[in-house]
Amino acid sequence: MGNLGKFVKGRAKRPELRRAQVKVRNIDKSVEDLEKEQQLLKERRTRLKADMIEETHNAQFNRMKILTHWRKLLRLAKTE
């Protein structure tokens, strides 16, 4: 039996090389360096989550301010 699907065109060997490079980099690092990197990633993730929560709060607050101002304008237009 031969190969199913595409023959040679479209096959790439670059991801395999990339995996090997990543493995070599990780082997060179010590366990402490890997733990530090993981800790930094956790801190960035928590900071990002906190920023997202703050941004949603600010967006809601600004939306309410705009709606309040719009209602004031409509009231003025109605009374005139």
For residues 56-79, average pLDDT: 96
pLDDT digits (tens, 9 = 90+) for 36-50: 889 999 999 999 999
Nearest-angstrom CA–CA distance, 77 and 80: 5
Quote the pLDDT of residue 1. 45
Nearest-angstrom CA–CA distance, 80 and 14: 71
As a whole-number percent, the residues of the chain with pLDDT over 70 amount to 64
Q: Name the average pLDDT for the chain.
A: 80
Nearest-angstrom CA–CA distance, 64 and 29: 51
Q: Where are the domains of the chain?
A: 14-79
